[in-house]
Amino acid sequence: MYEDLKNEVIFWAQKSEKLGLVVPTTGNFSLRDKETGYIFVTPHGVFREFLNPDDIVVLDINGNKVEGKNKPSYETPIHLKIYKNREDIFGIAHTHSPYAACFAVLKKGIPLIHIETFFSVGGDIPVVDFALPGSEELAKKSLKKLSNRSAVLLESHGVLTIGSSLSNAVLIAILVEESAKIYHKALQVGEPKNLSEEQVRALEKILKKSSSE
């Protein structure tokens, strides 16, 4: 059952690997079905290039398995925590893209120096303090940081993005990596300048206008 949704998870997980956001068996991806509320998540430890619909794990919002022969991703608790507390979120991507991961291991957030970061993330990209992978502590800390952002860095770990769909979450992960790359390169030649409050307010007006049209 749910072949289309399972194939959607597979497509974006494989696409993310092809784009260099993750390497084999690392990171994880999920979506929430708007009709059933079920969570479709990538399995633990399976090479993405060999994924088929039977490999995708289907869970209810409490983490009970509905379908699937594999164990769900080790990071599933963080996905469930977000879905339980954010009714507007229907896709989550956890990646280890190299430029963003550089700042994650430095525990250095990515400041708001580029307008695309504002439109994709909502502001700067903060760092979630270290907590063990798959732990309730990491889930709570991440949820708090995501209250007004669509992406965070996980200290010594990687990137977590949320979106209105899985495709949206993956797009945000791509843009986070681009922002990290720009910041990294800018640091090599000078001190990047943060967008001013006035500039941010102007961008907020643009965003508000576009969302109302």
Question: How would you list the strands of the sheet with 39-41, edge to edge?
Answer: 65-67, 57-59, 39-41, 28-32, 91-95, 158-163, 151-154, 127-128
Rounded distance, CA 104 to CA 22, Å?
A: 15
Mean pLDDT on 51-78: 96
Mean pLDDT on 41-68: 97
Rounded distance, CA 197 to CA 147, Å?
A: 20
DSSP state of 181: H
Asked if pLDDT for residue 197 goes beyond 90, the answer is: yes
pLDDT band with cut points at 50, 70 and 90 for residue 213: low
Give pLDDT tens digits for 86-126. 999 999 999 999 999 999 999 999 999 999 999 999 999 99
Q: Which two tokens stand for residue 196?
A: 């001013």
* Catalytic residue (choose from 75, 137, 177, 204): 75
Average per-residue pLDDT in the chain? 97
pLDDT band with cut points at 50, 70 and 90 for residue 208: confident
Active site residue 75: yes
Give pLDDT tens digits for 158-170. 999 999 999 999 9
Mean pLDDT on 196-201: 96
Mean pLDDT on 153-180: 98
State what percent of residues in the chain have pLDDT above 70: 100
Helix (H, G, I), strand (E, B) or coil at 166: helix
Residue with tokens 């059933």: 36
